[in-house]
Chain A
Amino acid sequence: MPYLGGDDAVRELRRALSNPNVQSDPLRYRNTILKVIRSMSQGVDVSGLFSEMVKACATVDIVQKKLVYVFLCSYAALNPELSLLVINTLRKDCQDPNPMVPHHTRYPPLVEYVEQPLTAGLRDRAACVRRVAILGWAKLYNLQPTSEIDASVVNELYSLLRDPDPVVIVNCLRALEEILKEEGGVAINKPITHHLLNRLKECDVWGQCDILRVLQRYKPQSDDELFDILSLLDASLVSPHPPVMAATLSLFLHLCPDLPAVSQAALERVRGPLLAACGSASREMRFTALCHIQLLLRSLPGLMGAHYKRFFCGYAEPAYIKQRKMQVLVELVNDENVVMLLDELKGYCTDVNADTAQAAISAIGRIGRSYSDRCLEILTGLLGLKQDHITSAVVQTMRDLVWVCPQCSDTVCVALEGCEETLQDSQGRQALLWLLGVYGERVSSAPYTLEVFIDGVRSEASLGVKMELLTTAMRLFLCRPAETQDMLGRLLHYCIEEETDMCVRDQALLYYRLLHCGIEETRKVLHGPRSDPSLGVLIGRPAEPISQWASSFNTLEPLRQVAVETESVSRGSPEHVTTDLSVTLSGCRVHDVRSGDLSPSPALSPEEFERLWLQRQEDFVRLEERVRCPAVPHCSPQSLQAAMQLLNIQTLAFTPPHALPWRVYLYTHTQHTHSEDTLCRTLILGELLLKVTLQQQPRDDEALRGFLSILTSVLHTLTPESE
């Protein structure tokens, strides 16, 4: 067919359709109609052919009829007047003894006229006609949502819920949901629920999912009924079809929000099918499964711990799957798998895809919050590759790590030397500058590195780098004034006199005036905290209650939501990252020994701890106390560690989660001011093993009691609220 513009094509087709020779030859007639449909499918507006097509509808050829109805369904709404022409044929077709004819009509939405055939369609003998007619009502309603829907139709639809054909049942449910949208959807009462549950097995995957979704609204009247439903659904929970499995789990979570134990058991039961979905052949399904696993891990961090190998990335997987897998891997790390896991992640750091490589590096950084030595070793090793995108990611990761774990700063300072040469992008340079500013006194080459930056400030394009540079120069000046004074002067001069960007200029003016106020004032303003222990909570968020995410489970939301979250966390200087999670723990601070009085430094090495722990008889005060926190062993060690760190208690060793007996070793120093001048320092060592054993040196009963009350309140905070 030669290419014709839209109008020409339509004219050509009209001529052919109204040609009596064509009309008398069924094959040619059908071919012409085919051409119309083809043009329609390619987006040509063929609505002008409506009247010709209506005529073509009056035929015995069922294929032609089918095609014409495809056309009519698309254009009927646009041509209400002309549609009247088709009514007669439609009515006749709808009464055709062959059920395939009304089935194919699909009831074009011709408001007043289609109601009668639709009503007849609901009572048709053939299931395929009933299926179409039911959805026909939904379409009709959708077209004029304001009109009152006939109560008798609604009743008819309700009665069709008892139809022998499973698709009819499901379509009824779907249509009623649509029609009764205003009233909150179809009424789910006990008989309907039980009926639907009994017929569930007969439906196809799609139908099962729809039924399970609608049933979420049902409130079982008794516990017995609830458990009957749950055991009936147990087989669907481990269904090999991921959508059915997910829909069932979602229903479980909705049915028993007050029974956390049941929800938890359900989550553990779907572990297998979920893992299978993660290995499914379709990458989209894998992605969806991963996103949902991330949701589950928010409440049950230990759920997948033993199966970490399933989340190793395949070579050919797309970047979005790899990144999700790494996010999951970070959550799964524990003492047993950390070596394997880091080894695997290290392999991803040199991935060809720069985004994947950077994601892997930042994943290592996240693990570094709990296993800093191992991770820093890998990160420093990566700097040796001298690849700009890797170096940039490593420096950013180190910045984020140091902010949370200040004990890493020594290694980081050593590693920083010389990496400015490979850094290209502004993010990486910004991170380097921040680190130089904060740890300038420990990086011997800091002023020289800074000088290179300051000399190049004229050609600097990034606003972020300029701002960071100003702050860094100021901070470095405070700790190494002799080496920095000159270049700081040059920088300020440039920024105030020549810089065109207002932000940079204002910042420079601010610093300039600040310096006028004297060095002590400047120090006060610029020396913010070097690290923020409250950020430690980010390491392992305390387990969230399931209800937090249950409503978004098995929808589109988890696929989108997490993507946004990771972006915001990984960028920007740590000072700008705020978290409201610390609020949840701030309640612990009201006791007589405040957490501020505790301090994890000077640090104790594990060997030293062991030595001190074993020599307890001689000079330690010993205290044993039972604490009742059954849920603590279920929360991840990271979140416990984070919570403890927030209160300046250093945890030293854990048994892996779910291991029995579960125990934790921890220590802290107290600095308790009894009066103005005497400062008592004591060392407290502790072992948590359902009961708390504490040892203290030297003796200070009050401090010990205070510490104990802090500890118990932390443990209770970590216990989910439902307990």
Chain B
Amino acid sequence: MSASAVFVLDLKGKVLICRNYKGDVDMAEIDHFMPLLMIHEEEGLLCPVLSHGSVHFMWIKHSNLYLVATTNKNSNASLVYSFLYKIVEVFTEYFKELEEESIQDNFVVVYELLDELMDFGFPQTTDSKILQEYITQEGAKLEVAKSKVPTTVTNAVSWRSEGIRYKKNEVFIDVIESINVLVNANGSVMSSDIVGSIKLKTMLSGMPELRLGLNDRVLFALTGRDKGKTVVMEDVKFHQCVRLSRFDSDRTISFIPPDGESELMSYRINTHVKPLIWIESVIEKFSHSRVEIMVKVIQRKMKYRQFKKQSVANNVEVRVPVPSDADSPKFKTSTGNAKYVPEKNLVVWTIKSFPGGKEFLMRAHFGLPSVENNELEGKPPITVKFEIPYFTVSGIQVRYMKIIEKSGYQALPWVRYITQSGGKLLTQH
């Protein structure tokens, strides 16, 4: 691994906080980082690794911060990046929002976290659930710190503390699927995939043992049942609590859940998805005078598997790019309302509730200045955001959730399905 030091810089390259882990790289080397970044950006050779002499800077950018790891060894790049992203993840969990202000307001906690996350250039405790037991200070609030040893430090189950109690034992399961569809100007689907995740909100006492059943095709084939709709998942990733050996042998997802909210698993399904919401657009640009835009949105008719009812998409947002020098917008919509966002060069058309099988139309008219903008502009795609509750595109279903705890209490699992857009794209003409 060997990261020598980790820095958090603001956008100007000023060091907000740093931690020297190994001491084999001069801490002043960071002064070269920002100039290097600028030079490379100008030349179009920007790259996540920058080097100055024998020192390499591996950096990521998060909101208005740069997180930089320095090293003078040929270290493992993917590991360093994962670690930097882990830092972001942990900090975000602590401060809700990771940005310059939150670092400055909480620098002591940041210091402590940096200290726990890594020692001598090697990552140590990086699970935020456990860290929260080590480092309990919250911002400026000064409380007398726990002098009790966190149980998780020596616990066999590192992600869950013992002795959790709830009056009412419940688990909420959210199945969330984002669909990504790329459609080109001719209307043919270039690529499509579904990224799904199963999120848990656990409110269970003690050390419960959970088992989750899905309509996973591999499992059905394994047990000889091959009826009904099944789903083939790819790139399945589990939370560390899931016993992978059991999943590998008999596809059972069994685990002791972390308390509170967590992501149990994520998966990708690489199938051909018909776009749920279809867009047709005509954009006519008359140089020096005006742009006319006509956009039609159509929602495919879908029946819920569970209920015989039409689907409804909520919070549909169609973002149509317009030239940066457009002015005097005029809109006409058959439903919802359209708004011009000049700083992003977009028209945003929002429809609160969009029943299946319907179609809506928006017309927009913009003026263009007579003196034309010489700068070359890209043709950004039209994007659509939406959310369809009680529905999953892939047809994945939670078949059961068994909860076993030695005290033998009854617990209720709740399941909810949501499909949302992960960024549906349409290239323009």
Contacts and interface: CB of A to CB of B under 8 A. Distances in A.
Interface stretch (B104-112, B217-225, B327-335, B352-360): B104-112
Interface stretch (A130-138, A455-463, A471-479, A613-621): A130-138
A210 B122 contact: yes
Contact of B147 (A100, A139, A282, A353): A100
A118 to B, nearest CB: 13
B17 interface: yes
A601 interface: no
A387 B82 contact: no
Interface stretch (B230-238, B290-298, B387-395): B230-238
B44 interface: yes
B381 A352 contact: no
A98 B191 contact: no
Given A556-B75, A559-B77, A206 B122 contact: yes
Nearest to B81: A284
Given A210-B122, A555-B75, A142 B45 contact: no
Interface string A37-62: 11001110000000000000000011
A630 B18 CA distance: 56
A277 B235 CA distance: 10
Interface in B370-390: 376-378, 380-381
A106 B119 contact: yes
8 contacts: A62-B147, A131-B124, A167-B125, A213-B76, A282-B60, A309-B191, A387-B376, A559-B48
B49 interface: yes
B115 A319 contact: no
A217 interface: no
The 6 closest A-B pairs by CB, nearest first: A355-B44, A206-B123, A352-B378, A240-B237, A284-B81, A284-B48
- Residue with the highest number of chain A CB atoms closer than 10 Å, among B22, B47, B147, B240: B47
B22 A142 contact: yes
Interface in A166-206: 167, 170-171, 174, 178, 201, 204-206
A563 interface: yes
A503 to B, nearest CB: 25
Interface in A630-645: none
B169 to A, nearest CB: 29
Contacts of B149: 98-100, 126, 128
A401 B190 CA distance: 30
Given A276-B235, A352-B378, A62 B145 contact: yes
Nearest to A352: B378
Interface in B1-41: 1, 15-18, 20, 22-24
A227 interface: no
- Residue with the highest number of chain A CB atoms closer than 10 Å, among B44, B77, B123: B77
Interface of A: 27, 30, 34, 37-38, 41-43, 61-63, 66-67, 70, 74, 98-100, 106, 126-128, 131-132, 135, 138-139, 142, 165, 167, 170-171, 174, 178, 201, 204-206, 209-210, 213, 235, 240-243, 246-247, 272-273, 276-277, 279, 282-285, 287-289, 309, 312, 315, 318-320, 347, 351-355, 387, 552, 554-560, 563
B278 interface: no
B74 A555 contact: yes
Nearest to A551: B74
A272 B60 CA distance: 25
B119 A132 contact: yes
Contacts of A205: 82
Nearest to A390: B376
- Residue with the highest number of chain A CB atoms closer than 10 Å, among B81, B190, B381: B81
B56 A288 contact: no
B132 interface: no
Contacts of B238: 240
Nearest to B191: A309
B78 A243 contact: yes
A507 B43 CA distance: 31
Contacts of B381: 315
A207 B144 CA distance: 33
Contacts of A319: 44, 46
Contacts of A273: 235
B137 A37 contact: no
Contacts of A243: 76, 78-79, 82
B115 A127 contact: no
Contacts of B24: 142
B76 A315 contact: no
B349 interface: no
Given A42-B15, A206-B122, A319-B44, A247 B107 contact: no
Given A74-B20, A206-B83, A355-B44, A557 B74 contact: yes
Contact of A240 (B235, B378, B380): B235
Contacts of A171: 119, 122, 124
Interface in B321-367: none
B350 to A, nearest CB: 22
A273 B84 CA distance: 21
Contacts of A241: 82, 237
Contacts of B84: 284
Contacts of B78: 242-243, 246, 277, 285, 288-289, 554
Nearest to B84: A284
A240 B60 contact: no
B199 to A, nearest CB: 16
A204 B99 CA distance: 28
Interface in B223-266: 234-238, 240, 244-245, 248
B126 A288 contact: no
A328 B111 CA distance: 41
A556 B49 CA distance: 8
A125 to B, nearest CB: 9
B79 A135 contact: no
Contacts of A347: 427
Nearest to A100: B149
B376 A352 contact: yes
A555 B76 CA distance: 4
A30 B82 contact: no
A43 B15 contact: yes
Nearest to B73: A556
B172 interface: no
A201 B47 CA distance: 34
A41 B427 CA distance: 47
Contacts of B46: 318-320
A315 B112 contact: no
Contacts of B134: 100
A565 to B, nearest CB: 13
B397 interface: no
B344 to A, nearest CB: 13
Given A127-B153, A554-B78, 6 more contacts: A126-B153, A204-B240, A282-B85, A285-B78, A552-B74, A556-B58
B281 interface: no
- Residue with the highest number of chain A CB atoms closer than 10 Å, among B60, B111, B153: B153
A286 to B, nearest CB: 10
Nearest to B27: A43
Given A70-B115, A282-B81, A135 B120 contact: yes
Given A309-B191, A560-B51, A41 B111 contact: yes
A70 B122 contact: no
A107 to B, nearest CB: 10
B154 interface: yes
Contacts of A242: 78, 82
A106 to B, nearest CB: 7
A288 B191 contact: no
Contact of B47 (A66, A213, A315, A559): A559
B153 to A, nearest CB: 5
A37 B107 contact: yes
A327 B118 CA distance: 36
Interface in B79-133: 79, 81-85, 107-108, 111-112, 115, 119-120, 122-127
B201 interface: no
B77 A320 contact: no
A137 to B, nearest CB: 10
